[in-house]
Amino acid sequence: MTRILITGGAGFVGGSLARSFLRDGSEVVLFDNLRRRGSEWNLGELLRAGAKFVHGDVRNPADLDSLEGNFDVLIEASAEPSVHAGIGGSPRYVIETNLGGAANCLEFARLRCGGLVFLSTSRVYSIEALRALPLVERETRFDLELGGITEQFSTRGPRSYYGASKLAAELLCEEYAAHGGVKVVVNRCGVIAGRGQFGRSDQGVFTLWVARHIFGRPLTYTGFGGTGKQVRDLLHPDDLYDLIARQLQSLDAVSGETFNVGGGRQGSVSMQELTALCREATGATVPVTPVDTTAAVDVPWYITDHAKVTQRFGWTPRRDPESIVRDIAAWIGSNRDTLRDLIQ
C-alpha cells in the first residue's frame, strides 16, 4: 500500500487529491494548520473517508518531525494561495508559508519520503510580460493567436509575493533534486476549480461566481475596462490527480523537471463566458457591476500550454469549464445551508 503525506491536506486541492488517493487504496495522512475557511468542514468528510490527520504548520519543522513513520511520497499542497496576499501590508505569512514551508517539506522529504510533488503556480510568470502580450478584443473575451504559455515564458520582473515565493520554492526543489537526493517534480498549475472549494474574491473566484448565482448575491467585473473579458484556463482537481498518479510511476525519470499543468485553450473561459455558464447551470441571473480599476497583480489573459507534460505522460485534461461549473453548482446545491455563510 502506498503511504502518502499531503501537506495542506484539508484544503481544497489537498483534500480533493486525498479523496482520489483514498479511493485507489492508498494510506493518506493529512497535515494542515486549518487556518483557511472551510478546512475543518472538509476535514470531517476526509476522516470519514479513511484519511488520518495531524494538526501542524509547515512553517514549523518540529510539527513535521512529529509525524510517525516514513512516506512513499509527500504532495506539497500547502500554501497561502492568494495572489493579493501581502499587497498593501506585510508579506511575512505568504513568504514564510510558501517558501519557508516548502524548504521544511523538502528537508523532511530528504530524510523520510521516497519523493515529493510540489504544486506551484502559473503566477510565477512575469506580470509585465503577460500584460505586454498582443491581445485582441473579441465579443466575449480577450484573445491571442497563441496556444498558451510554455515553461520558457519569462519569470523576470515582479509577479506578486505569492508568485515570487512559489518561484523561489521551485529553485529549492531543483537544488534538492540535484544535490539532496530527493526525487522532486514541480507542477505549475493554472486555476484549479471544482467542488470543495470555499471561494473568495481574491482566490477561488470561479467557485465564488457559481455560489453568488445560487445565493442571489451581486458580482463585479473588476479591472481591464470592467468588461469581464479577462481569460483563464481551468483545471479540475480530478484531472490533476490523474496526472500525479502517472508522475508517481516514473519519479526517477522526471525528477528535477518542471511542467505547466492546466486546462489549456479548450479549458479556457472569460468572466463573461463564466457568467453565461453559471446562468445556464443555476437558472439564476444576478447583477454584475463593471469596475474599471485594475489591481497591480492582475493579468488579462493566461492559458496554459501543457504540451510538455502531455508529451511526457500522455496526459490531457478531460473536464471543461461547463462540466466544472455544473460540478460546483451540484456540490453547493446539495450543501446550501452549510455553504451559504462559508462562501461569500
The answer to whether 205 and 228 are in contact (CB under 8 A) is no
- Longest CA–CA separation in the chain, Å: 56
Q: Report, in angstroms and rounded to the nearest whole number, the Rg of the chain calculated over CA atoms.
A: 19
With 90 as the cut, is the pLDDT of residue 274 above it?
yes
The mean pLDDT of 81-98, rounded to a whole number, is 95
User: 142 is written with which cell numbers?
Assistant: 480577450
For 289, phi and psi rounded to 5 degrees? -100, 130
CA distances from 258 to 117, 172, 187, 230, 249 (A): 10, 12, 6, 26, 16
Q: Give the pLDDT of residue 147.
A: 85
Q: Give the pLDDT of residue 341.
A: 83
The mean pLDDT of 77-87, rounded to a whole number, is 94
* Digit-coded pLDDT (tens) for 148-201: 999 999 999 999 999 999 999 999 999 999 999 999 999 999 999 999 998 776
β-bridge mates for residue 167, sequence order: none
The answer to whether 156 and 126 are in contact (CB under 8 A) is yes
DSSP 62: H
| Closest to 148 (Cα-Cα) out of 316, 277, 337, 275 | 316
Q: Give the pLDDT of residue 201.
A: 64
For 163, phi and psi rounded to 5 degrees? -65, -40
Q: CA 162, CA 95: separation in Å to the nearest integer?
A: 7
The mean pLDDT of 13-26, rounded to a whole number, is 97
Model confidence band, residue 342 (pLDDT cutoffs 50, 70, 90): confident
CA–centroid distance for 88 within its chain: 23
The mean pLDDT of 96-118, rounded to a whole number, is 98
Q: CA 180, CA 195: separation in Å to the nearest integer?
A: 37
Q: Give the pLDDT of residue 1.
A: 81
User: 273 is written with which cell numbers?
Assistant: 463566458
The answer to whether 8 and 78 are in contact (CB under 8 A) is yes
With 90 as the cut, is the pLDDT of residue 83 above it?
yes
100 compared with 338, residue with greater pLDDT: 100
CATH number of 3-342: 3.40.50.2300, 3.40.50.720, 1.10.10.10, 3.90.1150.10? 3.40.50.720
Residue whose C-alpha cell is 472569460: 270
The answer to whether 321 and 270 are in contact (CB under 8 A) is no
Strands of 52-55's sheet in order across: 52-55, 27-32, 3-7, 73-76, 116-121, 184-189, 257-261
Q: Does the pTM of the predicted model rise above 0.95?
A: yes
